Amino acid sequence: MTTSRFVFDVDERTFPEIVLGNSQRYPVLVDFWAAWCAPCRMLAPILDKLAEEFAGGFVVAKVNTDEERQLAAQYGVQSLPTVKVFRNGAVVEEFLGAQPEGAIRQLLDRHVERESDRVRAEATVLHGQGKTGEAIERLRGARAMDPANERVTLDLANMLLLGGALSEAEELLHGLPANRQPDPDVVELLTRLKFARIVATAPPTAELEDRIARDPKDYEARYGLGAGKALAGDYEAAMEHFLNIMRGSRTFREDAGRERLVDVFTLIGDKDPALVGRYRASMSSLLY
């Protein structure tokens, strides 16, 4: 028997209402378990704790597979514990085995909508209206209200970066848990921050372009202009500048042309593999 108001025992009769019905309103984590299963006993208190903490952001439905063999077979359960996340009547994610609390929190972050997420959406609208300062203040409030929502931290860091508050943005990103640092969204923001710092100390774009027109080997100007192009999403132009630096001087800022070229690859990610492949080949031809 369950004792939490957010954790329910379900069977074949109650599954449609408690799981499928409720999943139209919020995520339902279905925990397929058995009394003899030691990992199930390890997982259960973690799910109970998180369900209480999220206070209705999701619910847990527990299926005793020894008693509900038909349900377990219907959903392809082959090992215990198996946890399936239901949303809008369908399974949207699952995991096997007794996962650590941190991993389950990350899963919940992908599916549970919080009040702070509503503020995030409002901040995005404000930024689109040119009210970045107001958006930042809304996100500060959301972060104070829900410090565990790392999506708010990432949005706030992004807005601060756009607003030029680079040190505060960097502090927020480095303050995220160590296991989040390698995540693509964090790496992308840190990479953009790197380019933003270059742009912040570089002359205006028009001056950089004029310097390059007068002296194509003005690598300092190319470095600043390439960073600006990368920040603006003009990745091919940025890579041309950094590749030009590589061709002309591998010693410029200790091979900064190559390093920034790799940073642009990071920003592009898997959005344009052909473009990355072409410039990676050009870079390799200069290395070997």
Express each pLDDT in 42-85 by its tens digit: 999 999 999 998 888 899 999 999 999 999 999 999 999 999 99
Active-site residue list: 37, 40
User: Could you tell me the residue range of the domain that residue 259 belongs to?
Assistant: 199-287
Query: How much is the pLDDT for 180?
Result: 86
Express each pLDDT in 150-207 by its tens digit: 889 999 999 999 999 999 999 999 999 898 899 999 999 999 999 999 999 999 999 9
CA 21 from chain centre, in angstroms, equals 29
In this structure, are 176 and 215 located in the same domain?
A: no
Q: Which residue has the higher pLDDT, 2 or 226?
A: 226
CA distances for 111 relative to 41, 57, 168, 183, 185, angstroms: 24, 9, 28, 17, 17
Query: How much is the pLDDT for 247?
Result: 96
Query: Could you give the percent of the chain with pLDDT greater than 90?
Result: 89
Examine the fold and report which residue of 88, 111, 134 is the final residue of a domain before the chain moves on.
111
Flag whether the pTM goes above 0.85.
Answer: no
End-to-end CA distance of the chain: 66
| Dihedral sign computed on CA atoms, order 41, 54, 10, 77 | negative
In this structure, are 24 and 84 located in the same domain?
A: yes
**Residue 91 belongs to a domain:** yes
| For range 254-267, the mean pLDDT | 98
What is the tally of structural domains in the chain?
A: 3
Mean per-residue pLDDT of the chain: 95
pLDDT band at 33 (very low <50, low <70, confident <90, very high): very high
